[in-house]
Amino acid sequence: MTTGHCPELLAPAGTWDCAKAAVENGADAIYFGLDRFNARMRSQNFTEADLPELMAFLHSRGVKGYVTFNTLIFPQELAAAERYLRTMMAAGVDAAIVQDVGMCRLIRHLSADFPIHGSTQMTVTSAAGVEFAHSLGAQLVVLARECSLKDIEKIQQQTKDIALPLEVFVHGALCVAYSGQCLTSEALGGRSANRGECAQACRMTYDMKVDGELIDLGDKQYLLSPQDLSGLPVLPDLIKSGVSCLKIEGRLKAPEYVANVTRVYRQALDRAWQENGTNSAIKSGTNSAMKSGTKNGTNSATTPTPTEKLALKLGNRPISYEPTADERYNLEMAFSRGLYTGWFRGINNQELVHARFAKKRGVYLGDVERVTKHQVELKTTIPVKAGDGIVFDSGHPDTDQGGRIYGVEQRGRNICLSFGKHSMNLRRVQPGQKVWKTSDPELEKTLRQSYRVEQPAVQQPIDIEVHGVAGEPVVAIATDPQGHIAQAASEKVLETARNKPLTTEKLQQQLARLGNTPFKLGQFTNQLADGLIVPVSELNRLRRQLVEQLLEQRQQPKVWAMAVERSHRDLLPDPAETPSNPATLVPLVRNGDQLRTVLQCGLTTVYCELENPVHYRAAVALTRELNPRAKLYVAPPRITKPGEQYILKQVRQSNADGYLVRNYDHLQFFADQPCIGDFSLNVANPITAAYFKTEFGLEKLTASYDLNVAQLMDLLTSAPANWFDITIHQHMPMFHMEHCVFCAFLSEGTDFTNCGRPCENHDVVLRDRTGTDHVLQADAGCRNTLYNGVAQTGAEFIPRLMDQGARRFRIDFLNESPTQVQQILTCYQQLLNGDMTGHQLWRTLKLSSQLGVTRGTLERH
């Protein structure tokens, strides 16, 4: 995909003040949620009734507004979701940011042109994901935060035929898990991240047990809490990659944060764009332009432009951007757990997570050198003044001391800080502790003033041209960057001047007086005949009319096509009759001993997930040997990034009976094979289910783990029940991460090339604050999954699910022994046979000393 435009800067807004802060500090667009169906339900959100006024305000300022419609939608919510979508379209919203595949289908069913932006919750990490979003009718897709610059460039190259614009997060909090694939809040508290209710378990403390022993990690307690993302140092590389939009995270943040970060990136983006001469997508655009010029044989085409010369000079070399001291200070004061370039420069597990704290720290001042009864002495180059907030970092955030500075005294090269009486316990402050500046009231005041203004602080250029001859009115025409055009004519005609005729300079000066409007004069063209004059009052009236017309046009809602006669019901599949075949168990195993056990139990369908796909061939052979009637479906890793097709080839070389597909690459790569859709496809409603079933011919679909039993029953009612696998027993896969905990804390390496592969030699669990041990496992892509240490069962709901037509019940094993596997299978088989109740099964498994079991998420919400 090539572009001749500077990337759009997209800022978050949870409130009106945030929206104004973004607009007045240079955002090209904002994104915001409504009071339902958005992934930040804990934030303040706009309402449907706010939409007309909000969109009129944004469009009057030349700013776009995108609604975050980025949660999974449950069956009973489809009608409400349709109403929301129609309201958005009628209000002229510029796009909906969407996670749910079914909602993409519904939008395109209702409207041929209303823009869809594929959310980062869709977990798009490859060209196949971009193509999938394009096939759903998306006009843009937000890539997963885990994509590096190299990944982005590969994706751009591999999707150049469809040229779908790409958006990336450039600043803000990093989720440690892949968005759309985090089930931690769901597993631990029934609050789904896929429903906008993330409980931020990644920001909690964890202990690490290796081979059964707790290990001492010193002051590293926050093992899953990444530093905050700052793409500022790689800004020119992001421009060079051809991404269309740079997104700032922060819908839960205050307007001061929005103002601060938006202003920094606006100024930096403009500077980087101008300094690097980027007027086209440098890399791909240059090559195509040069080839085209050579082919056409024209001299002008074969002579590189300055931009093309720059691109040829840069090649694949990273382009550095050195943030200014003010930029670094402002971003750290806005909110910082430490700022880092995330995954843009590739994987560095030693730097991504420092693990020392998970709350805002701000700007590092220095280390404590001396503590007296009333003062703390340190050396710093950062300005500090009375009223600033600071915190002393003891290495144990729960006991850190912090507060407001009362006085600052210079002592040689050092400063001495004093504090209000009883505001801080200085006896707990020790030499050597790090000191952080967490608050700057003066900066915060300046930021508030930036958006609490009566006249626009950011103005867009409008081009004005004037025409006229003697005896005729002056005609002025204005155009804005969005393509609106206004025309006004003077009431008085032009006359021949006796002296001081109108000059271009005088006209331009008069028409440029746009100070209290959203506009500034761009290009001015004077087409008046020479030697003419008209009263200045007429020019002022022309200017006011042009502004009024442009604003009126801008504030009109965009008109999207909307099929009134269509409905979500048109997309619903026909529910099939309740099947009469007996219910069966479908186990998923994760090692050879478990596989051998389930095969000996006589089960005819088995799923298998191994860390190393090379071992799948042996698993297939074992299945053929022990139970020739059994079908073995093997699972590729959940994420596929550019360059990882070799892993899928290894999986396919096993010649398994079928494959458990988990992402868009799998749908494409295994299209000609028998496939089962796994839970990671996030099938939560019948429209999504019908799309995967009919478009890709999947044999079965695993129902989303976000559904409780009532919602699951609704799904089985609204789509054929025999389409679904129902996972009835499992250790919930909570975090699925690019971050490798094995590498970060059991080696000194940065990634798989130099870590020594501790994942192959050690068993690791992470113990949370409740004392529960959660199992950590790596996959072939060196990604980690943290599984809930307590298995959950939905045994008590099986009779109701069977009455609704469910027949395949999936049991996912993790690290159970063969004896435990056999016990669990026996209990569930007795339940299906009517020889045991769900309550008895739950009690039986719960009482087993080695099997922690909870009733789990099916009963929650």
Joined tokens for residue 407: 């006085």
Residues of the chain above pLDDT 70, percent: 90
For 750-838, list the strands marked E by DSSP.
764-767, 773-778, 784-787, 791-793, 808-812
Residues 528 and 441 placed together within one structural domain of the fold? no
Residues 37 and 123 placed together within one structural domain of the fold? yes
At which residue do the structure tokens 């050879």 appear?
Answer: 592
CA dist., res. 269 & res. 271, Å (int): 5
Phi, psi for 324 (deg, rounded to 5):
-75, 165
Q: Is residue 687 part of a domain?
A: yes
What pLDDT is stored for residue 843 in this prediction?
Answer: 85
Residues 286 and 366 placed together within one structural domain of the fold? no
Q: Cβ(192)–Cβ(185) under 8 Å? A: yes
What is the separation, in whole angstroms, between the first and last Cα of the chain?
43
Q: Which stretches of the chain drop beneath a pLDDT of 70?
A: 1-4, 39-44, 185-187, 189-194, 196-197, 276-320, 847-861
584-623 burial: b if 16+ Cβ within 10 Å, else e:
ebbbbbbbeebbbbbbebebebbbbbbbebebbbebbebb
What pLDDT is stored for residue 193 in this prediction?
Answer: 66
Residues 544 and 597 placed together within one structural domain of the fold? no
Q: Is residue 766 part of a domain?
A: no
Residues 239 and 281 placed together within one structural domain of the fold? no
Residues 598 and 550 placed together within one structural domain of the fold? no
Residues 234 and 305 placed together within one structural domain of the fold? no
Residues 846 and 719 placed together within one structural domain of the fold? yes
* Pairing assessment for the beta strands 339-340 and 228-230 based on DSSP bridges: parallel
Residues 246 and 389 placed together within one structural domain of the fold? no
Closest CA to 679 of 727, 646, 718, 622: 727
Percent of the chain that is helix, strand, coil (3-state, to 5):
35, 20, 40
Q: Look up residue 532 and give its DSSP letter.
A: E
Q: Is residue 661 part of a domain?
A: yes
What pLDDT is stored for residue 608 in this prediction?
Answer: 98
* Pairing assessment for the beta strands 773-778 and 784-787 based on DSSP bridges: antiparallel
Q: Is residue 39 part of a domain?
A: yes
Q: Is residue 89 part of a domain?
A: yes
Torsion sign across C-alpha atoms 554, 560, 564, 569: negative
CA dist., res. 185 & res. 663, Å (int): 22
What pLDDT is stored for residue 844 in this prediction?
Answer: 87
Q: Letter for the amino acid at 420? A: G
Q: Cβ(312)–Cβ(289) under 8 Å? A: no
How many residues make up the chain in this entry?
A: 861
Query: CATH no. for residue 425?
Result: 2.40.10
Domain of 305, in residue numbers:
277-318
Helix (H, G, I), strand (E, B) or coil at 628: coil
348-361 burial: b if 16+ Cβ within 10 Å, else e:
bbbbbbbbbbbebb
Closest CA to 462 of 572, 542, 567, 378: 542
Helix pair 818-833, 592-600: axis angle to 10 deg: 40
C-alpha distance from residue 236 to each of 217, 240, 308, 314, 828 (Å)? 37, 6, 15, 11, 58
Residues 251 and 299 placed together within one structural domain of the fold? no
Q: Is residue 564 part of a domain?
A: no
855 φψ region: left (φ > 0), alpha (ψ -120 to 50), beta (else): alpha
Q: Is residue 67 part of a domain?
A: yes
CA dist., res. 643 & res. 631, Å (int): 30
Q: What is the pLDDT of residues 37-93, one digit of tens each?
A: 876 655 667 899 999 999 999 999 999 999 999 999 999 999 999 999 999 999 999
Residues 813 and 668 placed together within one structural domain of the fold? yes
Joined tokens for residue 843: 């009690």
CA dist., res. 81 & res. 103, Å (int): 8
Phi, psi for 659 (deg, rounded to 5):
-140, 145
Q: Look up residue 846 and give its DSSP letter.
A: H
What pLDDT is stored for residue 189 in this prediction?
Answer: 62
Of 451, 477, 511, the position where a domain reaches its end is: 451
797-831 burial: b if 16+ Cβ within 10 Å, else e:
bbebbbebbbbbbbbbbbebeeebbbbbbebbbeb
Residues 491 and 549 placed together within one structural domain of the fold? yes
At which residue do the structure tokens 């400063």 appear?
Answer: 415
Q: Is residue 65 part of a domain?
A: yes
Looking at the 3D structure of the chain, how many domains does it have? 5
26 φψ region: left (φ > 0), alpha (ψ -120 to 50), beta (else): left
Query: CATH no. for residue 600?
Result: 3.20.20.70
Q: Cβ(771)–Cβ(810) under 8 Å? A: no
